[in-house]
A and B are shown apart, each in its own frame.
Chain A
């Protein structure tokens, strides 16, 4: 065979090389994921002592941060789920008009708004209200202000996912309900919502996974607290902010604690992600 190989061989080789290159891209993306999980496990696991998991950061633990994250997620979900799902109902059931289109566009844009901007908003919102005399000024660093920030991030996510969920409910289900003489609002609440319940749960879990890992807005609104939750008007600890503080600390012991806290955080977030998948899978099996 002469050196400039014939055209077909060259084409076949090029095909082979490009296929290999795409496989390499997949490997390149998996490398950081593997490295993050590996390092978190290897460096974080030794930090997980009973003291670390049960004491507040006054005593060198992260229990207050875990509690803070749970409190923040719970309160945020309490605000964001009803608002988000109602917005989803509007978009899916009533919003097939120009107004619905505008709402959908705004909600879409909101899901992409940088979380640090939302943090500034929550801080400034409380600050401006306190100028008007509604709140005492120290409230800018408090659970209330953090929940405003996190709910602002979560509402559009829940709204879009629940809209998508309700759109998948077949029209015939609605028609059947209406044919039985059930009023529309009951048809939505008793027929449409239950038949897409698992997809709604997935959306809620996605929203929770997103706000549970948020750090920047919490630094700007919840600040830090070395103690456990002590009131809605007080700063509160949370796992992401705790990881950040430990990570940028000059102390080596705290750097190690950062890996321990991040191991807990990563496990929490990954299990929520996997759980949201499992809900979808369950539904698929049931059908």
Chain B
């Protein structure tokens, strides 16, 4: 694949790099390294810009539960909590649906339907986040308030997370929007995982008399489970960083919530909704420190996902 590197010995000597070659290679290497440097620069700049806030609040920032620009007390706990709850809700709703889509597209769909359906599901990812937010405010939010949330309450209302008066612009709505937004990511990656399962797995199950579903469950899903898990983690990575759609639907209240039908705030939505009104320097610094926390969380999630998906893909390649 990399002929320029695989040529050895005499051939290589004859193809000795000209000065221009060295310049070009150096230029491309320099550019590539500066992209790496950009990520380092992002981290350094965020740290510098948040330095004063970090000095003032330290690690207590993570457990502080008040965000008050008058008394200059800033804590991240309600937003970390909001981020965890909305992302968990998004995964809970989004993963089964995405998995169903992936199974349909890779195992069950008639061949002529496969390409157009895959494309249409991917179009969900092409809709800008702010349009999801607009739709969340004027279409999904009212529908949640009038139909879906009372319906959920009628069934699960005895549980504390589903009590209170549904308002439509709350944590539950934000979770549903997030679930919709991560479906294209999770279904695309898990479809890849299912497609990479060798056909011998399916043939073996079918020859034992398994039905199509049993074949999928025993022969395909079990084989691809690491890839599916990685897909879900990638979806989680998208969910924690998603900003506009959440900002526009979650209700923007900087406090803990006991019920999913109350307004809340995630890290990203707190930054976006406070940014232009933030009181410099401390509140702005605290928002940047929030951004630093978000960046580290997403870095951790994505490295983990890559580890999972990467390992799976190698296994898939080997088996084929």
Q: A and B: partners?
A: yes
Nearest CB in chain B to that of A181: its residue:
B15
User: Is the Cβ of A124 less than 8 Å from the Cβ of B48?
Assistant: yes
> In angstroms, how far is the closest chain B Cβ from the Cβ of A84?
8
User: Counting CB contacts under 8 A, is A183 at the interface?
Assistant: yes
The residue of chain A having its C-beta at the shortest distance from the C-beta of B302 within the complex is A112
Of A12, A99, A113, A121, the residue contacting B241 (CB under 8 A) is A113
CB-based contact A25/B96 at 8 Å? yes
Q: Check if A58 is an interface residue, CB within 8 A of chain B.
A: no
Say yes or no for A87: interface residue by CB 8 A criterion: yes
Query: A19-B212, A86-B32, A115-B241 in contact; A120/B288 too (CB < 8 A)?
Result: yes
Q: Report chain A residues within 8 Å CB of B124.
A: 29, 32-33
A83 sits at the interface (CB 8 A): yes
B-binding segment of A47-55, A70-78, A100-108, A194-202: A100-108
Stretch of B38-46, B55-63, B147-155 that contacts chain A = B38-46
Q: How many of chain B's residues touch chain A, expressed as a range? A: 35 or more
- Shortest C-beta distance, B40 to chain A (Å), equals 9
| Contact present for B35 and A178 (CB under 8 Å) | no
| Residues of A with C-beta under 8 A to B243 | 114-116, 215-216
Q: Which residue of B lies closest to A242 (CB)?
A: B130
How many cross-chain pairs have Cβ atoms below 8 Å apart between A and B?
284
B contact residues around A277 at 8 Å (CB): 119
Which residues of the other chain, A, contact B99 by a CB distance below 8 angstroms? 25
List the B residue with the shortest CB-CB distance to A112: B302
Q: Which of B23-31, B70-78, B156-164, B257-265 contacts A (4 or more CB under 8 A)?
A: B23-31
Which residues from chain A contact B103 at a C-beta distance below 8 Å?
A: 22
A247 CB contact (under 8 Å) in B7, B120, B137, B240: B137
Picked from B129, B247, B272, B303, the residue with its CB within 8 Å of the CB of A213 is B129
Q: Given the complex, which residues of B lie within 8 Å of A35, measured CB to CB?
A: 135, 139
The digit string for B186-218, where 1 denotes a CB below 8 A from any CB of A, is 010000000000000000000000011110100
What is the CB-to-nearest-CB distance from B169 to chain A, in angstroms, rounded to a whole number?
A: 11
Q: Is A89 on the interface with B (CB-CB < 8 A)?
A: yes
Q: With A94-B5, A216-B244 known to touch, is A117 a contact of B298 (CB < 8 Å)?
A: yes
- Decide if A120 touches B298 in the complex (CB within 8 Å): no
Q: Is the interface of A mostly helix, strand, loop or mixed?
A: helix
Alpha-carbon separation in the docked complex, A127 to B31 (Å): 25
Whether B138 contacts A255 by the Cβ 8 Å rule is: yes
Q: How far is the CA of A155 from the CA of B241 in the complex (A)?
A: 19
A12, A29, A159, A188 interface centre (most CB from chain B within 10 Å): A29
Q: Name the one of A90, A121, A219 contacting B42, with C-beta atoms under 8 angstroms.
A: A121
B117: Cβ under 8 A from any A Cβ = yes
* Cβ < 8 Å to B, chain A residues 82-100: 83, 86-87, 89-91, 93-97, 99-100
Is B97 part of the binding interface, using a Cβ–Cβ cutoff of 8 Å? yes
- Is A1 an interface position by the 8 A CB rule? no
Cα A89 to Cα B131 in complex, Å, equals: 35
Residue from A113, A175, A183 within 8 A of B21 (CB atoms): A183
- Contacts A109-B39, A116-B294 given: A167-B131 contact, CB under 8 Å? no
Interface residues of A in 8-57 (CB under 8 A from B): 11-12, 14-15, 18-19, 21-26, 28-30, 32-33, 35-36, 39-40, 43
Interface check B223, CB cutoff 8 A = no
Return the contact of A96 from the options B5, B33, B121, B126 (Cβ within 8 A): B5
B145 within 8 A of A: no
User: A167 near B295 (CB under 8 angstroms)?
Assistant: no
**Which of B41, B130, B138 interacts with A244 by CB under 8 Å?**
B130
Cross-chain contact A269 with B45 (CB below 8 angstroms): no
Residues of A within 8 A of B105 (CB): 26
Q: Which residues of A contact B216 (CB under 8 A)?
A: 18
Q: CA–CA, A213 to B32, complex, Å?
A: 26
Q: How far is the CB of B303 from chain A (nearest CB, A)?
A: 7
B298 with A185: CB separation less than 8 A: no
Chain B residues with Cβ below 8 Å from A185 are: 18, 20-21, 23-25
Interface presence of A147 (CB below 8 A): no
Starting from the known contacts A94-B25, A244-B248, 10 additional A-B residue pairs (CB-CB under 8 Å) come to A14-B211, A28-B97, A33-B127, A36-B127, A93-B28, A115-B241, A183-B17, A216-B268, A219-B276, A265-B130
9 A-B pairs (CB sep. < 8 Å): A19-B212, A30-B120, A36-B132, A40-B135, A87-B32, A124-B288, A155-B38, A219-B276, A262-B130
Nearest 8 A-B pairs (CB), nearest first? A114-B241, A25-B100, A213-B128, A185-B24, A124-B49, A15-B211, A90-B32, A22-B104
